[in-house]
Amino acid sequence: MSLPFILFFVFALISVGGALLLMMAREPIHSALSLILVMMSLAGLYLMLGAEFIAAVQIIVYAGAIMVLFVFVIMLLNAGVEERTDYSKMAKYAGIPLGILLLLDLAHWMAHSLIGETPANGAGSANVMISTRELSMQLFQKYLFPFEATSILILIAILGALVLAKRDE
Amino acid sequence: MPILEHLWIILALPLAGAASNGLFGKNWSKTIINSVGIGSVSLAFLSVLEAIREFSLLPDGQVSFFKNYFNWMAAGSFKVDFALQMDHLTIVMLLVVTFVSLLVHIYSAGYMAHEEGYYRFFAYLNLFVFFMLTLVLAANIVLMFVGWEGVGLCSYLLIGFWFLKQSAINAGKKAFITTRIGDFGFTVGILLLFWTFGSVDFGTVFAKAANMPAESATQAGVLTWICLLLFAGAIGKSAQLPLYVWLPDAMEGPTPVSALIHAATMVTAGVYMVARMHALFSRAPIAMFVVAAVGAITAFYAATIGLVQTDIKKVLAYSTVSQLGYMFLGCGVGAYAAGIFHLMTHAFFKGLLFLAAGSVIHAMGGEQDMRNMGGLRKQIPVTYWTMFIATLAIAGIPGFAGFFSKDEILDAAGSGSDAHLTLWVLALAGAGLTSFYMFRLIFLTFFGKPRFDEHKVHVHESPRSMTVPLMILALLSIVGGWFAAPHLLGKTDHFEAFLHPVFATYGVPAGLEQRASLAGAAGEQGGIFATPAMELLHAVTGPPVVLAIIGLLVAWWFYVRRPDAPKKLAESVHGLYKLLLDKYYVDETYERVIIRPFLWISANVFWHVVDENVIDGTVNGVASVAREVGGQARELQSGNARSYATWVVVGAVGFTVLMLGVWGMVR
Amino acid sequence: MSVVPVSYYLVLSAVLFGLGVIAFVFKRNIITILMAIELMLNAVNLAFVAFARAWGQLDGLVFVFFVIVVAAAEAAVGLAIVIRIYHNRQSLNIERANLLKF
């Protein structure tokens, strides 16, 4: 049992556990916190895969900004325990089995993919320097247009959120 | 050759007249309507004359002139062109149709002067002329059928001209429906013709038929069937047994209509058709016999009914049915030229009879029952004399037109190669009866003491527009038969000779001698008698003439000398008299046996069962299925987002399973 | 020293994605559902990064970058809508917002 393996399993267990907690929590705030846990462990996994910049962005933006926003809204709306309504027969009976089926299907095929043999870390893994420098070169040369487009997207999102959330006068 | 190249002009003129009068005539004065209506037909007549002149300039060997103007229909190998043709037969028909139509148009200007819908009448008349000319000029059977149907339509429109009168409407419907039954046979005949010959064009069909052997007299081959089916149409259109019932009722229409359509032109379309298709008929002996038999039987049968009718127009109607029978008899025994000859002379004297009857009715202020007439000959002399001349013609008195044509037919029936003794006897008897009832008509109407109140009815002669056509037709009734006069002297019959090229082109194979030239039989044998004078004597003392004179004398006895004799005779054979008076109860039989069951089936089966349940049920059923399915399907849009999400997952699962598992897209 | 094959990461990604789907279908609170969506996006991000490592290309990371950006924008607008819905329906139960039906 080598270190990469152990680390992987630890992070994996934490993330899966967080996901399960998200599902089973009764208060939405608990779900939010579980999600933060998931994101943290994912950041760890990114680090293990050599993507430091992404790991940092994950924590700063995703866990640090988006989830904070979620928590703010939950607290603003003071959402309590959700009531148990079941208007959809389809969702009640078919939803979860199908979801499990999807999960298993994907997992099965992922496990058997050819690429899966490639080592991701540890001995023999490709010694690729995924540096921030390289990444930014890609971002600002090859993907310049999408980059600029996303800035417009963010602008629109800001405007939209402003307009939608305004209190009626 | 301007007109000949553009034969369609002859058709376009009356059509233009019909369109103008029909669309704009409502606001026009009588003068304009007359000019358009009469003018278009006179121009058509002049065009016909010019076309004939141009035709005569064609080289001698050319029998017919054919021109294809455009292709009308082409569906696979079924090609129908708008093609017109002209040959001697067409010329005869064109002359008869345009000239008699012209006279009737002029007459109508006087007769219909006080009628509502004056413009409509002329529009319909012109339209009729257009369709009749199409029928005559057509170079293929489908175009002929267009004219066939068109004249039927115009007949319906004109019979029901006074459409506010219930009996007129019924008569119009009866005419159209009865002829329709025949037309169904005609249509099937056309189909069979096309199926056999692969073409509907006369030239092609006749050329192919010429190479076919004659069919046997006992077994019906395809040619026989074609001819019988086409003749079924002729039975309807030309009012033979058993589809003649519409013609007497058609007398509901104005008298000019009866003269033009039901005496001179439309009803003769059947005869023309048989003559045109002679190439096929000559090779189908069974069909020929059927034609001749139907003609002869109808001739006799209708004459018996005409004996006792009291309405002046009904007598003439039954007379028309009877005379048409003679024409078919002529064609049926192979004497096509004789049949057409009788068609022409009949157009003259029967047209005259109807127009003169109209003049009588006009003079009597609308009275049509002969029992209420009498003694009119001093008061309306022109009408009397012209009608008398026409009666002499129809009775077959020597010297007048009817004598020549009827004599030829009887001759052919009695002694030609396709002769048949029974038919000859029937026809002969019919001739005698014809003479009797026609003179009966004359004596009842014009002789004796007036049987009406002279103070109430102001008898006056008709205006010039009506009497001049009468006089012209009377002249033609006298001289119209003289074409064939030399034949009596043992020499050639000019009319016969004129039509000879047409009927000889598709000559019949040996064994069935076509009676193409009556002259041949007499002339080639060197004349039956030694001198022309003896020949003539033989002709004028033959059985037909004898019977005609007997008929005249009997009628004179019954209606002039002893006016009460008819009543006594009628009482003594009361049953027979009633039978004849009620027209053998044919109409009533048809009503019971055919019409009522049909109406019952239509109402109960086709309406309730088929239309309401099956058709409406299907349509409504489809609609309700759509509604039900829609009703179920719309429940999918429940507004519940979780349900939607689940469906998305369903799709996702399906797709992944398909992509990864079934199609193996993962490597 | 044994190695961790890429497939392990992919399986983990699949599991997280599946759990996200189940949560999406199962939960009734709108905000929780939005969080389930975020979970799914994260799972996908993991897959991208893993593939980036496997192929040795950086495009996967760029994609992750953009996914995060878009997720942020979407979360902002989505939560604004949630606030609106709460104002109108007085409830955060998604099944209460079912007016858009036949």
Using alpha carbons, select from B125, B238, B109 the residue that is nearest to residue B179.
Answer: B238
Over the stretch B460-478, which tens digit does the pLDDT of each residue have?
788 888 888 888 888 888 8
User: Is residue A96 in a domain?
Assistant: no
Using alpha carbons, select from B295, B298, B405 the residue that is nearest to residue B348.
Answer: B405
Q: What is the pLDDT of residue C58?
A: 85
Q: Is C97 on the interface with B (CB under 8 A)?
A: yes
Structure tokens at C13: 């990604």
pLDDT at position B378 over 70: yes
Give the mean pLDDT of B70-82.
Answer: 87
Q: What is the pLDDT of residue B524?
A: 35
pLDDT at position B414 over 70: yes
Question: What is d(CA A114, CA A134) in angstroms, rounded to the nearest whole number?
Answer: 27
B 602-661 near A (Cβ less than 8 A): 638, 640, 642-643, 645-647, 649-650, 652-653, 656-657, 660-661
User: Is residue A99 in a domain?
Assistant: no
Q: What is the DSSP letter of C93?
A: B
3-state secondary structure B115-169: CCCHHHHHHHHHHHHHHHHHHHHECEHHHHHHHHHHHHHHHHHHHCCCCCCHHHH
* Residue B551 pLDDT level (bands cut at 50, 70, 90): confident
Highest mean pLDDT among A85-94, A111-120, B480-489: A85-94
Question: What is d(CA A102, CA A48) in angstroms, rounded to the nearest whole number?
Answer: 27
* Residue B8 pLDDT level (bands cut at 50, 70, 90): confident
Q: Which of B645, B653, B660 sits opposite A109 (nearest CB)?
A: B660
Q: Is the CB of A98 less than 8 angstroms away from the CB of B666? A: no
Q: What percent of chain C clears pLDDT 90, i.e. is strictly above it?
A: 57
Give the mean pLDDT of A126-143.
Answer: 80
pLDDT at position B514 over 50: no
User: Is residue A104 in a domain?
Assistant: no
Which residue type does A66 have? I
Q: What is the pLDDT of residue B512?
A: 35
Give the mean pLDDT of B98-111.
Answer: 91
- Picking from A81, A101, A121, the residue at the C-terminal end of a domain is A81
Distance from CA of C95 to the nearest CA of B (A): 6
In chain A, the N- to C-terminal Cα span, in Å, equals: 63
* Residue B274 pLDDT level (bands cut at 50, 70, 90): very high
- 3-state SS, residue B436: helix
pLDDT at position B2 over 60: yes
Exposure on the CB side of residue B485, measured as CA atoms within 13 A: 10
Chain mean pLDDT for chain B: 83
CB B402 within 8 A of CB B548: no
User: Can you give the residue ranges of every domain in chain C?
Assistant: 6-97
Chain mean pLDDT for chain A: 86
User: Is residue A135 in a domain?
Assistant: yes
User: Is residue A160 in a domain?
Assistant: yes
User: Is residue A116 in a domain?
Assistant: no
Question: What is d(CA B244, CA B288) in angstroms, rounded to the nearest whole number?
Answer: 20
Q: What is the ipTM of this complex?
A: 0.91
Q: Is the CB of A105 less than 8 angstroms away from the CB of B656? A: yes
Give the mean pLDDT of B173-190.
Answer: 92
Q: Residue B201 pairs with which residues in a beta bridge? A: B140
Give contacts of A98 with chain C, Cβ < 8 Å: 25
| Pair (A3, A63) in one structural domain | yes
Q: What is the pLDDT of residue B538?
A: 66
Phi, psi of B72 (to 5 degrees): -90, -55
Q: Is B504 on the interface with C (CB under 8 A)?
A: no
Q: Which of B637, B640, B652 sits opposite C95 (nearest CB)?
A: B640
Question: What is d(CA B634, CA B139) in angstroms, rounded to the nearest whole number?
Answer: 63
Q: Residue B140 pairs with which residues in a beta bridge? A: B201
* Higher pLDDT pick, B125 / A134: B125
- Picking from A81, A107, A142, the residue at the C-terminal end of a domain is A81
pLDDT at position B521 over 70: no
Over the stretch B234-266, which tens digit does the pLDDT of each residue have?
998 888 888 888 998 898 889 999 898 877 788
Over the stretch B380-401, which tens digit does the pLDDT of each residue have?
888 889 999 999 988 888 878 8
Over the stretch A3-13, which tens digit does the pLDDT of each residue have?
888 899 999 99
* Touching chains, A (3+ CB pairs < 8 A): B, C
CB B470 within 8 A of CB B386: yes
Q: Is the CB of B638 less than 8 angstroms away from the CB of A113? A: no
pLDDT at position C47 over 90: yes
> Crossing angle of helices C59-89/A144-165, nearest 10°?
10
Question: What is d(CA C8, CA B352) in angstroms, rounded to the nearest whole number?
Answer: 114
Question: What is d(CA C10, CA A24) in angstroms, rounded to the nearest whole number?
Answer: 24
* Residue B515 pLDDT level (bands cut at 50, 70, 90): very low
Task: Give the distance from CA B423 to its chain's centroid.
Answer: 22
For A57, the domain range is: 1-81
CATH entry, C6-97, from 1.10.287.3510, 1.10.150.120, 1.10.10.10, 1.25.40.10? 1.10.287.3510
Over the stretch B621-659, which tens digit does the pLDDT of each residue have?
999 999 999 998 888 888 888 888 889 999 999 988 888
CATH number at residue A16: 1.20.120.1200
Distance from CA of A98 to the nearest CA of B (A): 7
- 3-state SS, residue B86: strand
* Residue A129 pLDDT level (bands cut at 50, 70, 90): low
- 3-state SS, residue B191: helix
* Higher pLDDT pick, A95 / B563: A95
Q: Which of C8, C31, C56 sits opposite A79 (nearest CB)?
A: C31
Q: Is the CB of A70 less than 8 angstroms away from the CB of C58? A: no
CB B176 within 8 A of CB B155: yes
Distance from CA of C24 to the nearest CA of B (A): 8
Q: Is the CB of C19 less than 8 angstroms away from the CB of A69? A: no
Phi, psi of B57 (to 5 degrees): -85, -5
Structure tokens at C63: 């994609």
* Residue B142 pLDDT level (bands cut at 50, 70, 90): very high
Over the stretch B569-610, which tens digit does the pLDDT of each residue have?
777 777 777 777 777 888 888 888 888 888 888 888 777 777
| Pair (A70, A139) in one structural domain | no
Q: What is the pLDDT of residue B533?
A: 67
Q: Is the CB of B660 less than 8 angstroms away from the CB of A105? A: yes
CB contacts < 8 A (A, B): 48
Q: What is the pLDDT of residue B459?
A: 78
User: Is residue A77 in a domain?
Assistant: yes
Q: Is the CB of B652 less than 8 angstroms away from the CB of A102? A: yes
Indicate the number of domains in chain A.
2
Q: Which of C24, C97, C99 sits opposite B645 (nearest CB)?
A: C24
Q: What is the pLDDT of residue A143?
A: 92
Over the stretch B319-357, which tens digit does the pLDDT of each residue have?
999 999 999 998 888 888 888 889 989 999 999 999 999
H helices within B480-542, ranges in order? 485-488, 494-505, 518-524, 532-540
- 3-state SS, residue B406: helix
User: Is residue A87 in a domain?
Assistant: no
Distance from CA of C102 to the nearest CA of B (A): 6
Q: What is the pLDDT of residue B491?
A: 61
Which residue type does B246 have? W
